[in-house]
A = this chain, B = another copy of it.
Amino acid sequence: MSHKIINVTVRDVRFPTSLEQHGSDAMHTDPDYSTAYVVIDTDCGLKGFGFTFTLGKGTEIVVCAVEALAGLVVGKFLQDIVSDFRGFYRLLTSDGQMRWLGPEKGVIHLATAAVLNAVWDLWARAEGKPLWKLLVDMDPKQIVSCIDFRYITDALTEEEALVFITCMGCFSRLPEDLMLKEGYPAYTTSCAWLGYSDQLLKQLCTDALKSGWTKFKVKVGADLEDDIRRCRLIRQMIGPSNTLMIDANQRWDVAEAISWVSSLAEFKPLWIEEPTSPDDILGHAAISKALAPLGIGVATGEQVRAPCLFLHTYHWLMNQ
């Protein structure tokens, strides 16, 4: 059965999370967690749903960008898209007039992701599976074939391509039985948003422990004394065997990051996430090197601009 895409619609959906400081961190002190929400319609009634996450203001810009991309999608057949998903990605990101607005960056990146997510969802529904199961059933090489490695085709080995898809969150190599039985490993960020009171933090942490959570992320970076107090509180509540991570959301300079995180070392965080500018690979490397003796890792890449940046990061890590 063929599935012709006949319509792409997008909605600006906002949630007033800032009212109670849900989602707040050192850089985003009053976020209204929101989304540009895409629905794809096909001629046979099947639909695909996708979105990307925004923080409130400006969601209308992403909506506007999705509307501009829609013209590249309407009229396509799902079968043609999935038989050359890499080509479809390149079609969306290489339009001769629109690529100037990225390429593959910022608003255009977010809008492209919302459309692609909806197409992946449509694909899974057409196969009669949830998306995770579609991915699990794919051969790793099939997944690699969906990704556009433009610019680095020559430099990327097959092994690196597989590391890439693993880093990007594809879990095709996790044992499916285990996943169905025990669930997928995850941590919670919901206990310790930066704007929460100590009282709320204690209550949410108690609830999360009761629900079986073992890994907890805490937002840091606005005020060192506050961070010390909050990390001490969380560590006391979760005990030494559970895991604590911290996240500064790009708040610091490189030197500041090293000094600040060193002051929190006694609480044994597994990693500091996004200590500095997301564009500064070498800055992250310097922070990573300085914190290694303290047993604290550096997490980044929530925003990776381009596969070539991933490749250089990977090569740098391999050469340490």
Spell out A's residues near B (CB within 8 Å): 27-32, 54-58, 60-62, 64-65, 68, 94-103, 105-110, 150-155, 250, 253-256, 276-280, 282-283, 305-306, 308-309, 312
Contacts and interface: CB of A to CB of B under 8 A. Distances in A.
Nearest to A63: B64
Contact of A106 (B109, B153, B283, B308): B109
Number of copies of this protein chain within its complex? 2
B308 A96 contact: no
A68 B58 contact: yes
Contact of A96 (B30, B65, B276, B280): B30
Contacts of A109: 106
Contacts of A150: 253, 277
A309 B279 contact: yes
A177 B18 CA distance: 56
Nearest to A149: B253
A111 B150 CA distance: 27
Contacts of A105: 105-106, 305
Given A61-B68, A64-B60, A97 B277 contact: no
